[in-house]
Each structure stands twice: as C-alpha cells, then as structure tokens.
Amino acid sequence: MILHIAKKEIHHNLTTLRFALMIILLPVLFVANALIYSLGTGGYTDRINDYNGQVRQNRRHITEQANISLAELALRGPGDIPKRPSRLIFCAGGVDEVVSRSIKLRNDGSISRSSGVEDEDYAWRHPLSLEYKVVSSGSNSTGRVKINWVFIGVLMSFFTILFTFDAIAGERMRGTLSLIMSNTVSRGQVLLGKYLGAFVTVFLPLVMGVLMNLLVVLLIGGIPFDGSDWLCILGMVGLFALLVSIFIFLGLFFSSRVSNAITSLVWLLLTWVFLAFVFPSLLGIFVGNLNPIPSVDEISMRRRAQLDHIEAQWQREPEKKLRKSPAIERPAVVRLWATYFTEISDTETQIADGHIDQQLQQVQLARDLTQISPIATFQYAMEGLANTSIVGYMDFVKQARRYRQTFVDFIKAEDQSDPESLHIYPVKEGLSQKPVDPNAVPVFSEQISYRSVLSQVSLLVLFNLLFFIMAQVSFLMGEVK
C-alpha cells in the first residue's frame, strides 16, 4: 500500500510545473559548477601545480642545505608546509578559499651585529617558528556565496519544500484526504508513502545532476579521483539524501499541521530562509563577537614588545648578556646563545600559536552553535568530506606543529651521532658541521581524518528522526477535513 501511495505521489509530482522547473535548474547549476571549476582560475589544476611546485622546491631546498651541513639545515629549516589542495573543492569550498594554502615556517633573513671587535661580530638566523597566514588584504571575495554542491544542496532543500507544502494540506483542501483515509490504510502508511514519493521525485534528478557534474569534471577538468575521493562523493550524495529527507519531514509536518496549503508554504518558506541564510550567519557573527579576541594589531604589538624585552636583556647595554659571539672553542657562550634563541623561538611560537588557536576556537564555537540549522550542519559535513572544513584546517595546523617537532628531533638525533659536535641546538656553532643524507630528512605528509563528519552525520540523522516524529505526531493528531 505504501508503494502504491508513493507511486501515485511520484506520478502526480512528475507532471507538475515545479518538477519541470527543478529539472531545468538543477542540471544547469551542476554543469555550471563543473565548468566553472574545471576551466576557471584557482581550480584544482592551478592549485595542485602550485602545491607540487612547492613540494619540489622544498625538496630541492632540503637537499641543498643537507649537503652543506646539518647545522645549516637546522637553521634554514625544511621550507613552508603546504596543504594538499582538495580534489573535491568544487563540492564544498569551505575554509580553503579563505586561508592560505601553506603554513609558513618563519625564517627571517640573517641578522648581524657589528661592533668592530672581532669576537663580538656575528651573523645569525632566528630559529624556526610557524607563521599562519589567513586572508590576504584587499581581497573582496570572501563571504561571497560559492556555486558548489553545498549551494545546490541549499537550493534542493527549497525545492523539497515546494514538493511537500501541499502534500497533505492540499489533499485536505481538495477533500481527497478523507477518501484515502477511508481505505484500510494507516495514517503512518500514508505519511510514509508521501515521504517516499517526494524523496524519489527530488532525489533522482539530484543524482542525475551529480552524475552530469562528475562527467564534466572528469572529461574537461581532468581531476584524477582516487578510491577515497569516490567514497567521499558517495558520502556527499548520502548527505544530500539526509538533507532532502529532513526537509520532506519538515514539509509534511507543516502540511499536516496547517489546514491551508498556503499557510503551510508561508511557514516553510520563512523557516527555510531562516535556516539557510539568516540564522547561521547572524548567529555565527553574533557568537563570534561574543567573546572578543585580541585583534591582529594588538597581537603584533604584544609580540614586538616581548621580543623587544628579550632583545634588551640579551643584546643591549647595560644588561647585554651576549658579549661574545659563539664559537666552537667557547661552549659556554654557545649555550648562552642557545638560551637566547630558544627564548625568542618560544615567545614567537607561543604568540602565533595562541592567536591562531583563539581564532579557530572562536570560529568553532560559532560553527558548533549554528549546527542547530540542518542546512549549516549539512554544509559542515560536506566540507568535512571535501577536507576543506575548519576542523580539517585545525588538524593540518596540529600536524604542521608536530612536523616541526619531528624535524627538530631529527636534527638533534643526527647531531648526536657526530662526536665532534657540541650538541647545542639551535646555534650553528653548536651543531654538527657535516653534511647529512637528504633522504633521511623527514618529509611532511598530511593525514586526513574524516572523524569530525561523524558528529554532523549523526546530527543530521537526529534531525531526521526529530522531524519524522513531529510529522508523524502532527499527522496522527491532525483533522482529516
């Protein structure tokens, strides 16, 4: 019986104007998305070329330094840490369109001091610290809506509303609802039939659109998908299904709650506008501003003040602790310089890491709260699967930090095997002056984790259950006439 109702519903839907309109708009958007990302600048090809260039450059840099000496490598570092561009950026742009694609290993040029006394002249480099660049100034493209799968998903939820607003209220108005109910069919079955009918009507064109999109991307864009990408795409289709399903239940809820189809549409439309635009954005900005964090200017002022304080202690009269320049014959002096460098590096790291952590936490709080809207949850889950989410970026930051530590550990371990070295990191004179095998130097490789998506998926399932129960209860309690 359910299938019968579903079939009737599908037949009815297929002949409607809204279906025709949807079937026109969906492929247009999907193909437009594929074409824009395949042909346009800043697409995957550009990004992966940048990335590969960066990786090659790092490799060359490491080889050059390692062939000179371990000390040189230790001071110059392994180069910037690039984030591998997502192949699925056309599905969900996420934070990848905001943050820079690599974390800079800050390494200011060499600093020197000269006082005319031979023992005091010295040129050095500050030890490595990570620098996170977020958005380039003067760019006006942030915050603009990107035409990707997420956007299409939002539109799909709108179309779902158009298919369900009169599913029950309409039948009630026409009087056909009482006819259906006069059969030996339970209300639950009617609801489920309606649900299935609407689901198939919306979801099949969507899947077709996705296929067309992928075809264009594969043929024109030439993006080489691997197994995990296909799994992610499959996951995204699943997310589409969850989102569509939520809005069908929502539509059925209002449709059975309200006697008039138009009132149901008004409610649904406003709910949709709220869930899609107003609510996530306003709440996001509001929560973001709720616990203010120091501005970029304040941070850079603080940094300058602290570094200045260290400089005064170590380099400037009257305290000036670093009178002599480090040399292999003067281990005590080398040790003193090491303390100085470590202090600078710790300060830099503490400030930079602390700042980006605060920023990310603020966004994450805003993000967590906006998940009250299923559309926002859907967006975050899509971004999670495309590995362009803020959580993915946080993971990347953590891995970059770990890599920095691995690199330092490697230097220290290599240094230990050289008996002539003083074993004092991070002073050039305190480290081994022998070349190292470039292939032994650890290379950064990013581990992608999809764990964060799980919470969003379960949230979406929860929304489904909630709205299902709401629709069910309201239909069970609703009047037939």
Partner 1 sequence: MPILWLVIQREFVSNVLTSRFMIGFIVCVFSTAVAVFVQMDDYEKRLAGYNTAVREAEAEAREWDLYVDIKPQAHRKPNPLSIFNLGTENDGANTVTVELGKPIFEFISTIWGAPTQKRGSDNPFLAMFLSVDVVFIFKIVLSALAILFAYNTISGEREDGTLKLVLSNSIPRDTVVLGKYLGGMLSLFPIVLVSLIVALLIAVSSPVTGFDGNDIAHIILIFGVSLFYVSTWYLLGLLLSVWTKEAATTLILSMFIWVVLTSVHANVVTFAVDKLSPYQSQPEGAFLQPAFDVWDEFKRERDAYVKQRGYDDLRASITWEPETSSTGLGSNSYTGGYFRLRRYSVPSVDKADTSIFQELLGYQERLRSEYAGKAEKILNKPAEERERDAKFADALSRISFADVYHFAVGAIAGTDRQSYNGFIEDARAYKREIVEFLKDKEAFSSRAWFSTDKGTADLADLPVFKHKRLSLSESFARASMDILILLAWNILLFMTAYVSFLQYDMS
Residue 460: closest CA among 394, 390, 379: 379
Residue 387 CB, shortest distance to partner 1, in Å, is 16
Query: How many whole angstroms separate alpha carbon 198 and alpha carbon 252?
Result: 10
Q: From residue 131, how far is each of 176, 295, 305, 406 by CA, in Å?
A: 66, 16, 18, 17
In DSSP terms, 82 is beta-bridged to: 102
> Which of 108, 116, 118, 137 forms a contact with partner 1 (CB under 8 A)?
137
Stretch that binds partner 1, among 120-128, 357-365, 446-454, 466-474 (CB under 8 A): 357-365
Contact positions with partner 1 (CB under 8 A) in 321-340: none
Query: How many whole angstroms separate alpha carbon 445 and alpha carbon 442?
Result: 9
> With binding defined as CB under 8 A, does residue 233 bind partner 1?
no
> Which of 145, 220, 234, 465 forms a contact with partner 1 (CB under 8 A)?
145
> With binding defined as CB under 8 A, does residue 288 bind partner 1?
yes
Stretch that binds partner 1, among 3-11, 295-303, 424-432, 451-459 (CB under 8 A): 295-303
> With binding defined as CB under 8 A, does residue 37 bind partner 1?
yes
> Which of 15, 112, 139, 445 forms a contact with partner 1 (CB under 8 A)?
139
Stretch that binds partner 1, among 3-11, 48-56, 63-71, 360-368 (CB under 8 A): 360-368
Residue 395: closest CA among 150, 86, 76: 86
> With binding defined as CB under 8 A, does residue 147 bind partner 1?
yes
Query: How many whole angstroms separate alpha carbon 456 and alpha carbon 212?
Result: 27
User: Three-state secondary structure along 337-349?
Assistant: HHHHHHHHHHHHH
Here's the x/- map for partner 1, 56-95, by CB under 8 A: it reads as: --------------------------------------xx
Contact positions with partner 1 (CB under 8 A) in 158-197: 158, 162, 166, 170
Strands (E) in 176-261, as ranges, are: none
The SS3 assignment for 233 reads: helix
Half-sphere exposure of 83 (CA within 13 A, CB side): 28
Residue 255: closest CA among 326, 190, 348: 190
Q: Which C-beta is closer to partner 1: that of 134 or that of 327? A: 134
Contact positions with partner 1 (CB under 8 A) in 419-438: none
Residue 124 has phi, psi (to 5 degrees) of -145, 175
Contact positions with partner 1 (CB under 8 A) in 9-28: 16-18, 21, 25
> Which of 7, 84, 146, 412 forms a contact with partner 1 (CB under 8 A)?
146
> With binding defined as CB under 8 A, does residue 136 bind partner 1?
yes
Residue 108 CB, shortest distance to partner 1, in Å, is 11
> With binding defined as CB under 8 A, does residue 305 bind partner 1?
no
Half-sphere exposure of 142 (CA within 13 A, CB side): 12
The SS3 assignment for 89 reads: coil
Q: Which C-beta is closer to partner 1: that of 25 or that of 185? A: 25
Q: Which C-beta is closer to partner 1: that of 240 or that of 267? A: 267
Contact positions with partner 1 (CB under 8 A) in 237-276: 260-263, 265-267, 269-270, 273-274
> With binding defined as CB under 8 A, does residue 362 bind partner 1?
yes
Residues 6 or more apart whose CB falls under 8 angstroms from that of 140 comprise none
Q: Quick one: how far is CA 258 from the chain centroid?
A: 40
> With binding defined as CB under 8 A, does residue 36 bind partner 1?
yes
Length of the chain: 481
